[in-house]
Structure 1
Amino acid sequence: MSKNLFSTVLTCLQEADLNRKVKQLDQLLQDWTEDRFDITPTEEIIRIPDPGRPSKPELVSPKKLPRRGLGTTEGHAALMHSIAHIEFNAVNLALDAIYRFQEMPRQYYGDWLGVAGEESYHFQMVREHLFHLGYEYGDFPAHDGLWMTTYQTDHNPLVRMALVPRTLEARGLDVTPAMIQKLRAIGDKRGVEILKILLRDEIGHVEVGTRWFRYLCEQRGVNPFKTFQEIIEQYFHGDLRGPFNIEARREAGFSEQEIQWLESL
C-alpha cells in the first residue's frame, strides 16, 4: 500500500519530540528505499512559521547569544551545542524542501531525503558528544536565523536552493576548518572526527542544492550566475565576506565565476 510522501514528511517536520522525530525519519527513509510512496501533490500546502522542535533550547536573536571561549568545559560544550542546533535545524530544512515544493522530479525528493537522513545522523553524533561533556541539547540558548530564511523562501524553490544550501549551509564549509583547528588545540579528538564527517557530508548537501538550483535555472531559461547574484542581493541580509573554503565550494559545484564574485564582495 502506498503512502503520500508529502503528508508523511509534514508529520515528521511538525514532530516536536526529538526521539520520535528521528524514528519517523528512519521510517521515511526505509519506505522511500522500498518504493512505498506516491508523490501526488496534496490539496493544500501550509506555511510553517515554526517547525516541530522541543521547547528547549530557548531561541534568541544571534546578538543576544553570549560569547564563550573554548578554554572552559562550558565554552567547549556551548560550541558543540551550537553545532547540534544547526544540524537539528538542517533536518527540518531538508524536510521542508520536500514538503514545500511538490512539483519537482522524483529524484529531487530522494536527494533531500538523503540529506535529511545524514543531518539526523550528524545531530545524533554531536548530541552524544555533548552528553559526554556533561550537557544535553537544549541546555544553552540558540538562534533561529536558519528557519527565518526558510520561511521567507517558501514561495519559490529557485530562491530556496540559492539561499539555504548555497548560501547559509555553504557558510558551514567556510567556518568548519577553523573550528576543527580550535578543537584540535584543546585536544578534543572526537570533536575533530565529528567535524571532519560533517564537512565531508556538507559538501555533498551544498552540491545537491547547486544541482537543483541549476536545474531550475535551466527550466526557467535564466542565467544561473546572474540569478544567484540577484537572489543574494534581494534576500540575503547577513554577512557574506570571506575567507571562503574555495576548494570545498568548488567540490560543491560553485563555478569559478561565482567564486570570483564572492571573493570580490
Structure 2
Amino acid sequence: MNPAVPSLSDAIRAALLTGDPRSKVMATRKLVRDWRMGRLAGHGDTPMPDKPAWPDYLELLPPGRMPKRRRGGSEQTRIALWHSLAHIEFVAIDLALDMVGRFGADMAPEFTDDFLAVAADEAMHFALIERKLRALLTHYGALPAHGGLWEAAQLTSEDVAARLALVLEARGLDVTPATRDRVEAQGDRQGARLLQRILDDEIRHVRMGVKHFTKWCEIHQESPADHWKTLVARHFHGTLRPPFNDSARLAAGLSRDFYTPVA
C-alpha cells in the first residue's frame, strides 16, 4: 500500500467520527466516489471506533423515555415522524460504513462495493429527509432521538454473519408502506414519493445482505434460514411481530422460512 495514498479504512473512520450531519453526508459521498475512482488504497488496518460521532446538540434518550408519537396530520406530528426517519437514516449511514470498515477486508471485493453503495444511498436518504424537515421550518436534532439504535451494531461487532443478520431483520420493509400511505392520505404526495424511493432502495439493500449472508453460510456449511434464526435468538431481544410485507421481503430474497418461525 502506498503510504501517500489514504486507505479506505482511514476514510471510513474519519467519516464515522464526523458528527456534523451535513459534513458526514459529504464525507460519505466523497469516500464512496474516491473508492470508485481508485483514489483510495485498500482497506488498511485502521480500527473502527466503538461508536460513531453524532451531533453534540442531539438529545439521545433510552427507548422507554422517547415521547410517544401521535397519529394524525398536525404539524407537530408530521415533524416528529420525519425527525424519527431522519435519525434512522443518519444512523444507517454509520451502520453501512462500519460494515465495510470492520468486515470488508475479510470478505469478497463485492461486499465492499455493495455496502459502500448502501452508505451512499443512506446519505442521500438523510439529505432528502433533512430537506423535508427544513421545509417544515425545523431541522435534525430539534427533537430527542432514540439512543439505542447503535446497540445492535455493538453487539455484532465481532461477527459479520450476525451483523448481516441485522440487515436481514428488514423491519423497514414492513413499516414503510403504511407510513407512506398515511403520509399520502394527509395530502403530502412529495413525502409519499420520498418514502417509496426509500422503500425501493431498502429492498435492494436487504437483497445485498441476503446475498452476502447466503455466501457466508455456504462457505461455513450452514443453512441460511436456520443460522439466521440462531443469530436472532442469540443477539437480538424481542420478537418479530406481524404483519410482514411478504412481497417486499420476497423481492429482497427473504423467504418466509426465515422470519415466520421466529414471529
TM band (smaller chain): over 0.9
- The 5 A counterparts of 1:100-249 are 100-101=102-103, 102-163=105-166, 165-167=167-169, 170-249=170-249
**Residue of structure 1 equivalent to 2:79:** 77
**More displaced stretch, 83-92 vs 176-185:** 176-185
Report the Cα offset of residue 21 of structure 1. Answer: 1.4
- Alignment-mate amino acid for residue 149 of structure 1: A
Aligned position for 1:9: 12
Q: How does 1:22-37 map to 2 (within 5 A)?
A: 22-37=25-40
Q: In the alignment, is the contact (CA less than 8 A) between 2:61 and 2:146 conserved in 1?
A: yes
Unpaired runs of 5+ in structure 2? none
The SS at the match of 2:68 is: coil
CA contact (8 A) 1:246 1:259 kept: no
Are 1:58 and 2:77 an aligned pair?
A: no
TM-score normalised over the length of structure 2: 0.93
Could you tell me which residue of structure 2 aligns to residue 95 of structure 1? 97
1:88 to partner: Cα distance: 0.4
Amino acid at match of 1:181: D
Q: CA deviation at 1:217?
A: 0.9
Give unmatched runs, 5+ long, in structure 1. Answer: none
Structure-2 separation of matches of 1:224 and 1:68: 36
Aligned-pair CA distance for 1:259: 4.6
Amino acid at match of 1:215: K
CA apart distance, 1:144: 2.5
Partner amino acid, structure 2, of 1:232: V
Q: Matched residue of 1:187: which SS?
A: coil
What is the rounded CA distance, in whole Å, between the counterparts of 1:45 and 1:218 in structure 2? Answer: 28
Describe the SS at the equivalent of 2:79. Answer: helix
Aligned amino acid, residue 179 of structure 2 = M
SS of 1:118's equivalent in the other structure is: helix
SS of the aligned residue for 1:192 comes to helix
Match of 1:146, SS?
Answer: coil
Q: CA RMSD in A?
A: 1.5
Superposition TM-score, scaled by structure 1 size: 0.92
Counterpart code for 1:51: P
- What amino acid maps onto 2:123 in structure 1? S
Give the drift of 1:123: 0.4
Counterparts in 2 of 1:19 and 1:47: CA distance versus 1, 3 Å: closer
Q: Tell me the distance in 2 between the aligned counterparts of 1:242 and 1:56.
A: 36
- Output the amino acid matched with 2:177: P
Moved over 4 A (4+): none
Check the 8 A contact 1:47/1:154 in 2, yes or no. no
1:261 to 2:258 alignment: no
SS of the residue corresponding to residue 149 of structure 2 reads: helix
The alpha-carbon distance between structure 1 residues 150 and 27, as it changes in their structure 2 partners (threshold 3 A), is: same
Indicate conservation of the 8 Å contact 2:174/2:243, yes or no. Answer: yes
Q: Is the 8 A contact 1:91 1:120 kept in 2?
A: yes
Are 1:19 and 2:10 an aligned pair? no
Shift of 1:239: 3.5
- The letter for the 2-side match of 1:53 is W
**TM-superposed deviation, 1:41:** 3.5
For 2:29 and 2:65, the matched residues in 1 are separated by 35
How far has the Cα of 1:66 moved from its partner? Answer: 1.3
Alpha carbons of structure 1 residues 239 and 135: separation in structure 2 relative to 1, 3 Å: farther
Determine the C-alpha separation between the residues in 2 that align with 1:28 and 1:143. Answer: 27
